[in-house]
Amino acid sequence: MWNAYRHGNSADPSTLDEAIQATQNAVDAEPNLSNHTHLLCNLGDRLRVRFELTKQGEDLDRAVTAFQSAVELTPDGDSGQVRCLNQLGTSLLERFYRKGGRDDLDGATLMFCCVVELILDNDSSKPGALNNYGISLLERFERIGDLEDLEQSIVVHRLAVRLAPDEPGWFGNLGNALLARFKRNDERGALEVAIAVQRRAVKLAAKDHPGRPVWIGNLGDSLLARFERTGKLEDLEDAISDHRSAVELLKDGHINKPVWFSRLGSSLLARYRRTGELDDLELAISSHRRAVELIPDGHPDKPRRYSSLGSSFLARFERFGELDDIEQAIATLHRAVDLTPDGHPVKPSLIGNLGIVLLTRFERLGELSDLEQAIAAHHRAVELTPDDHPDKPRRYSSLGSSIFARFERFGELGDIEQAIAALHGAVDLTPDGHPVKPSLIGNLGIVLLTRFARLGELGDLEQAIAAHHRAVELTPDDHPDKPRQYSNLGSSFLARFEHLGELDDLEQAISSHRRAVELTPDSHPGKPVRLSSLGDALIARSQLTGKLEDIEQAILAHRRAVEFTPDGHPDKPRRFGSLGSSLLARFERLGELEDIEQAIVAHRCAVERMPDGHPDKPRRFSDLGSSFLARFERCGELEDIERAILAHQRAVELTPYGHPSLSLRHRSLGVALRALFKRSPTRLTFDAAVQAFAHSTQEPLGIPSVRLDSARHCLELLSIYPEFSSAEDLISVQSRIIVILPDLIWHGHSIHRRFEESSKLIELVSAGVSAAIGAGALRHAIEWFEAGRALIWSQTLALRMPQDELQGQHPELAKSLQEIQQGLWHSNYGSGGLESHGDGGVDDAARHRQLAIQYDSILKRIRGSPGFEDFLRPKRFEALVPSHDLLSGPVAFINVDKMRCDALILSPAGTVTSVALPDLSLKRASTLRSLWTTQLTMKDARAVISRREEPGRNLEILPRILGCLWRWVVSPVLKALDLLHPHIERLPCITWCPTGPLTQLPLHAAGVYRKPDDLRAFDVVVSSYTPSLSALLRSCEGLAKHRPTPRVLILAQPATPGYSPLPGVKTETHQLQASLSDAHVEIERLEDTNATVGVVRDAINHYSWVHLACHGTQQSIDATQSAFMLFDGPLSLADLMATAAEDAELAFLSACQTATGDEKNPEESMHLAAGMLAVGFKGVVATMWSIRDEDAPIVVEAYYKKLLELRSSGAVERGQTGAAYALHEATRVLRERVGEREIARWAGFVHFGV
């Protein structure tokens, strides 16, 4: 019966059934016969034949069982062993194809491996055995992704080719394995070899060879892969040609014909996506339809054919938006999933494809059921995909994308957290070097950037930029996906610019977006979004520079983006919105009414087309409101301002609570309400505008510059319209400004940027202090005065401040804080720490920002602990004021504001009084400073003023300036303190803390110089200075805890290499050494080559007093790099902060201009004297300008003489050093020697601290 069926003598299937039954009976009846294994193999063969006809899985299972029994019963070395092993392997592989069982695949691979080992190399069947083994290894690689299987498959196929160099099939299968290697590793060489060997297979095959169509089709697959890698249309054309040839060469009814119709459809679809040719799309759909029609129902490949057809329907929907196409796509993909048995290896892929199409329909129709089904499908696909499967990362990525879509729809933070977790999983599971890794990293970056936009966490922004950087770097330059990666990188740079304001980020954003646009063909579906992103970045730059060219280019880019985006596309509203914004920018620049009319039309289109509930809808309303406001300001139509307010109110209502953009929305609403108020002043509108601005300042996640701008607007309204405001309102707004200051001068900025930002705040702080004084809130005035001074010094000191209380209660938090602080301190980019000698490159900047983000995070955690709510925040008044027994006299804070000038006097008892300075103004103070600085002879550091110069020449104006200072500032303060009469006994001490231009003027020398008996400040008080109240508090309290026994380090550099000689240094330091020795003070002298940076670093922490006679350099950009020039290089303040003794007490800076601040940013006290206080010294003597070389020894000798006298007599009070009184005496000695009119010689010496 079997022979009759096999040889075609009977076509009746029942004949085959009877043959199988007869063979089964024989097997069952004679289990011990010698030919039993032969019968089992025959049974297996016949069951396989019936399976091929009926596709009944039971027959395949029985065949496997028969072959397994035959293998078990066949002894090693038996002539039939190879046949049994081979048949079992073939059947197991077939069952794997049908059911996807891993055990079957492993079993098949093992059987084929055994066959290869049993057959001798010279056996003619060896190449075929190697081929089967190679096929199973490749299948296992594609199933679990083990690279060892892939490499072994290639080795095996190469051996088969070597043994049978004329067999085309072996070449074809080697090409398939090499193609797999390319897809796995993006190894271009493997792809090129794959194409070469597949071309060899085609060339070797006779034209009538039955395998020729398949080998031609395989060549088409490799060429399609090369197109997808390089974007070369020639490869795509050849791939289509080969796939078409495969279809045409296969006879109708051939079992493989559906496969090649499907491959042809895929290559045609790829050409459509590349060129946009609609004929290709229609032909692709037609080919996929044909593949579905030709493949029999029940065939295991039928689901895949349905899936490919569904993908082509999806492509047509994305092009035309016809709902029928998306419905057909979903129907065919549902069919594909339904036809695939559970457990089949392809099922997860089909379910995932269904999820993609459902997500697309949601984006088109907004049906939430589609979104939930899409997420469920992707969840199912992830669950069904084994952890070691190479497609697992893509499943996670698709799941993350669908959950991300739900976040974009509802804004639920839980969704974006899940999306990020899924995308992280995708990235983590993908090996380095895998060609899909850059895309997955880029997708993760997109979601991280979105979370930043929602929560304002800078860590997300930095991670997003890092992800996009890496995606760009990992994507080859000629890869078709490179433009998308550039575009994503540009968007993340633009987001950081909008938040931090770093111009370099904006330039990099524009550069990245330009590159993306240039690399993207006009027909590419990604072109519109890349054009739009470029336009957004150009508009941002135009707002900074005012360049019309940027606006024109932006409008052109946005117009093209609108044109290239199909109607009905979900991104079309955004395109209209961006176009409207660029037209509005040109209107604001040129004032052409046509531009504002078109802007309003575009923004209206954006609002109307954007679905309700879309997270981007608030922005569309806000932009529309801004365009209405612009037209109102141009045309004055009341209806426009009313529409603007309504639009902005709607934007505020739709923005979720806590969203970072809410601050911006409130500010925009406030601006519109202010415009209406100015047109029709009412209390209701005024209150609404003030409230909007107030809400903007109070949004903690808002961009600091936006919050500050809102505070300024609010302050302006309250100040200009006092009839609608109160002093309490002004104080409230000012207090918000003070709260924002630390956010503006963020640790993560470069040191240069922080100084820039702090210089912009001078006017705001002084205005706030003035407002508090005017309202009688003097304690607030002191707090704000302090909060606005030496901000960067305070940040720097905070990094070095011991945190004993935190260590005691929360040691883990203290440890984490200390590690981050040390990282910031050593950062090359931002803090100017110990290793800050680099050029602040991109990597330095990124690391520094990351540390700053971690610093903010740890501070937030610490402040969440009970008792640490105000940890490292600006201090309250009570915490700022030293105890009454530590202050030797009053502290006078001089606030110079454009509206008013006042002195705030803090008494030792802690009371605060204010003294109006009606004759002083900001303009007068600036004029005095200008006159003073131009009159002083400013030469090189520690300038030597010519003795031939006539005494007082060109300096006659100096007494007049000091007279103005006396009348306008010093005399009113001293009068209020009842200190205008000379004291017979010890003079009282006053500490000055001036602001603005006064920081560079000698208040201690103010007075009337017309007659000898006129009153000068030094006649009635001893003057000292402090850069801030905090600095004074640190000095007082530090000294009160411990006053060390004087041990002095003298550092002398009379001839520093590269600098002008200082001949007076030797005289000065020798005299000092002699005086100290006579007083039995322990000293160490380091001079010339002995005074190197390393030696001084090691020595300085052993001494409480330091005398530095050398050149000094002041770095206004980074004060921690201000330094004293030693024999082999600079000894910076950063060095001293790490090496100065804990009991450091006094420093004498016998170098020029060591107390000269920065004219542009005087509040930061960026000079060496303030730096030495920050280092830990309690009192510092310095100079405000260059001094004569012969004057320093006089002052030094008199200073130390008086200081030692005061110390030995017990005249120095607790918390004081006596240095201010000693310097007062020393300058008296110099003044009497050179003459009082030689003001520039004696008035330059000043004391800071206590």
pLDDT digits (tens, 9 = 90+) for 1153-1205: 665 655 555 555 567 788 788 778 899 999 988 888 889 899 999 999 999 99
Same domain, 1074 and 1162: yes
Same domain, 854 and 937: no
Residue 165 placed within a domain: no
| pLDDT higher than threshold 90 for residue 937 | no
| Alpha-carbon torsion, ordered 1226, 1232, 1235, 1240, to 10 deg | 10
| pLDDT higher than threshold 70 for residue 1130 | yes
Residue 28 placed within a domain: no
Same domain, 621 and 651: yes
| pLDDT higher than threshold 60 for residue 428 | yes
Same domain, 964 and 1057: no
Buried b (16+ CB within 10 A) or exposed e, 1206-1237: bbeeeebeebbbbbbbbbbbbbebbbeebeee
Q: How many domains, in total, are found in the chain? A: 4
Tell me the C-alpha to C-alpha distance, in Å, between residue 1057 and each of 1085, 1108, 1127: 19, 17, 6
Same domain, 1051 and 1168: yes
Last residue of a domain, one of 694, 725, 756: 725
Average the pLDDT over 157-183 and give the result.
92
pLDDT of 559 reads 95
pLDDT per position as a tens digit, 68-80: 998 888 888 887 8
Tell me which residue has tokens 């059911």.
99
Q: Integer distance in angstroms from the first to the last C-alpha of the chain?
A: 117
**Residue 836: which domain range?**
804-863
In this structure, the number of other CB atoms found within 10 A of the CB of residue 278 comes to 12
Same domain, 1219 and 1194: yes
- Helices assigned H by DSSP within 1079-1157: 1093-1100, 1133-1139
Same domain, 1121 and 1196: yes
Same domain, 1046 and 1178: yes
Nearest CA to 153 among 171, 130, 172, 169? 130
Q: What are phi and psi of 953, to 5 degrees?
A: -60, 135
Single-letter residue type at 1178: K
Residue 284 placed within a domain: no
pLDDT per position as a tens digit, 769-782: 998 998 899 999 99
CA distance 682 to 668: 19
Half-sphere exposure of 1221 (CA within 13 A, CB side): 20
Contact 784, 767 (CB under 8 A): no
Nearest CA to 1218 among 970, 1035, 981, 977? 1035
β-bridge partners, 1047: 1082
pLDDT of 847 reads 80
pLDDT per position as a tens digit, 299-322: 778 898 999 999 999 988 876 668
Contact 215, 198 (CB under 8 A): yes
| pLDDT higher than threshold 90 for residue 939 | no
Q: Strand 1146-1150 to strand 1129-1132: parallel, antiparallel, or no bridges (unpaired)?
A: unpaired
What SS3 state is found at 794? helix
Residue 1087 placed within a domain: yes
| Alpha-carbon torsion, ordered 400, 401, 405, 406, to 10 deg | -20
Contact 743, 697 (CB under 8 A): no
| pLDDT higher than threshold 60 for residue 6 | no
Contact 172, 218 (CB under 8 A): yes
Helices (H) and strands (E) in the chain, counts: 54, 14
Average the pLDDT over 717-736 and give the result.
86
Residue length of the chain = 1250
CA distance 316 to 320: 6
Residue 1120, both tokens: 């921690």
Residue 728, both tokens: 């309490």
Same domain, 988 and 1122: no
Residue 939 placed within a domain: yes
pTM equals 0.69
Contact 1248, 1224 (CB under 8 A): no
1084, containing H or E segment: strand 1082-1087
| pLDDT higher than threshold 80 for residue 273 | no
Helix-helix angle 683-698:662-679, to 10 degrees: 160
Single-letter residue type at 1140: A
| pLDDT higher than threshold 90 for residue 819 | no
| pLDDT higher than threshold 70 for residue 576 | yes
DSSP labels, 35-103: THHHHHHHHHHHHHHHHHHH--HHHHHHHHHHHHHHHHHSPTT-TTHHHHHHHHHHHHHHHHHHH--HH
Same domain, 851 and 891: no
Residue 440, both tokens: 């997955």
Which CATH number belongs to the domain containing residue 710 in this structure? 1.25.40
Last residue of a domain, one of 863, 892, 910: 863
Residue 1225 placed within a domain: yes
| pLDDT higher than threshold 50 for residue 23 | yes
Same domain, 889 and 1013: yes
CA distance 1082 to 1074: 11
DSSP labels, 549-564: HHHHHHHHHHHHHHHH
| pLDDT higher than threshold 60 for residue 242 | yes
| pLDDT higher than threshold 90 for residue 676 | yes
Residue 101 placed within a domain: no
Residue 672 placed within a domain: yes
Same domain, 1129 and 1001: no
Q: Strand 1082-1087 to strand 1022-1025: parallel, antiparallel, or no bridges (unpaired)?
A: unpaired
CA distance 75 to 79: 9
What SS3 state is found at 1067? helix
Contact 1147, 1109 (CB under 8 A): no
pLDDT of 1165 reads 53
Last residue of a domain, one of 830, 863, 896: 863
Residue 848, both tokens: 């520094």
How high is the mean pLDDT of the chain? 86
Which CATH number belongs to the domain containing residue 1064 in this structure? 3.40.50.1460
What SS3 state is found at 1180? strand
Tell me the C-alpha to C-alpha distance, in Å, between residue 542 and each of 536, 589, 708: 10, 10, 22
In angstroms, what is the C-alpha Rg of the chain?
42
Q: What are phi and psi of 1181, to 5 degrees?
A: -100, 130
